[in-house]
Amino acid sequence: MGYWFKVLLGTVAAASVLVTGLLIVSRLSSEPSLGRKLVLALGIARPAVIAHRGASYLAPEETRPAYLLARELGADYLEVDIQRTKDGVLIALHDDDLSRTTNVADVFPGREKDTVNTFTFAELQQLDAGSWFNRQASDRARDSFRGLRILRLEDLIDIAETGSHRPGLYIETKAALRFPGIEQQLVTTLTARGWIGHIESAGPARVIFQSFKPESLARFKILAPEVPRLLLIDEVMLSEAGWESLLKTASEIGMGIGTWGYRWAFGPQWSVKDAPTRYVMTWPRYTGQAHRAGVFVHSWTIDDRWEMWMVTLNGVDGIFTNRAELAMVAYSRSEPIDLDKLWSRIGY
């Protein structure tokens, strides 16, 4: 064995020891045992697989097939953005307007940039909420996506209550300040359907409320104090308020905090103007601080296997993901998935 080969072996061995040591330190500093106790006390699965807008990599976001597929995959939660129509109907939709995910420009020319609350539910039911996906994701397109309709909250509850799995609901009040009283309306609806009103003794908490608006979570704390609440944070909030302030707010009005993953920190959607510094928040020291403050951590939006591994290593208690089918396998919650069989089962 030559001298330089021995040197190479020694270098590799030293590097391996260093990396292993760093991984152990990272794992310990994130206080995963504290996080485990926090979510266990709340009845939340760990690591929680939260189907972000449903199985939205494989189907149009926040539509029936996206949620049906996420349910059949075994996701712990169906994540949904709730807004309200002009006539008071709670609907599942992410964007402020309808231009990205519907044919609103064709059906209601000139109104494509109007906010959702200026439309009645009957008007929204005239829109095609699925064909855009076939155009943008042609490798995942399906004829059955054409003509999909925007869902009501009640439709989503019906989906979650049937099928081979019974996921919880992870509900975001989107643009909450635009919809006065939406928190009370949500609590009333969920109570009437038997989804909230008590803490289950076993299994995942059935509902988690989330919002980027602390005011919305503060209302939920009064209206339904037993339901877990998570403060979502983004780069602008961090730039303006700082981590310590946001963590304090999360611990006072909520039970969890929603940090972002690594791809977002370096992605083109980052708000460079409002937050020129690219913060990476899913590091062990931040996760550990959250756990020590009595706050669980769910990270968004984690769509690659390597990132799922990294954030879990760094102590997060669950992930929002567009790729529930990948997360279920990555976390050894499922065998390799036969998607054709699942599509057949749900009728799409």
Q: 30: pLDDT confidence band, cut at 50, 70 and 90? A: confident
Strands 256-258 and 168-173: unpaired
Q: 164: pLDDT confidence band, cut at 50, 70 and 90? A: confident
**Cα-Cα-Cα-Cα dihedral of 174, 178, 179, 183, to 10°?**
50
Mean per-residue pLDDT over the chain, rounded: 92
| Residue matched to tokens 């990270």 | 299
Q: Is the pLDDT of residue 157 over 80?
A: yes
Residue range 133-142, pLDDT digits in tens: 999 999 999 9
Compute the distance between CA of residue 206 and CA of residue 211 in angstroms, rounded to an integer: 17
Q: 29: pLDDT confidence band, cut at 50, 70 and 90? A: low
Quote the pLDDT of residue 140: 98
Is the separation of the CB atoms in 262 and 305 below 8 Å?
no
Q: Which regions of 190-341 does DSSP assign to beta strands (E)?
A: 207-211, 229-232, 256-258, 296-299, 318-321
- Eight-class DSSP state of 337: P
Strand, coil or helix: 156: helix
Residue range 115-127, pLDDT digits in tens: 999 999 999 999 9
Alpha-helical regions (H) of 137-204: 153-160, 182-192
Strands 77-84 and 48-51: parallel
Quote the pLDDT of residue 8: 58
Q: 21: pLDDT confidence band, cut at 50, 70 and 90? A: very low
Q: Is the pLDDT of residue 78 over 70?
A: yes
The answer regarding whether domain 30-85+156-346 maps to CATH 3.90.550.10 reads no
Q: 2: pLDDT confidence band, cut at 50, 70 and 90? A: low
Residue range 230-269, pLDDT digits in tens: 999 999 999 999 999 999 999 999 999 999 999 999 999 9
Is the separation of the CB atoms in 99 and 119 below 8 Å?
no
Which of 52, 198, 291, 298 is catalytic? The answer is 52
Average pLDDT on 105-121 reads 98
Is the separation of the CB atoms in 62 and 93 below 8 Å?
yes
Is the separation of the CB atoms in 45 and 75 below 8 Å?
no
Strand partners, 50: 77, 320
Q: Is the pLDDT of residue 16 over 50?
A: no
Which of 94, 165, 291, 298 is catalytic? The answer is 94
Q: Is 165 a catalytic residue?
A: no
**pTM (whole model) above 0.85:** yes
Q: Is 94 a catalytic residue?
A: yes
The percent of residues above 90 in pLDDT, for the chain, comes to 87
Quote the pLDDT of residue 7: 46
Quote the pLDDT of residue 197: 86
Residue range 231-240, pLDDT digits in tens: 999 999 999 9
Strand, coil or helix: 21: helix
Average pLDDT on 83-105 reads 98
Average pLDDT on 313-338 reads 96
Query: And the tokens for 78?
Result: 């169906």
Query: And the tokens for 336?
Result: 């390799």
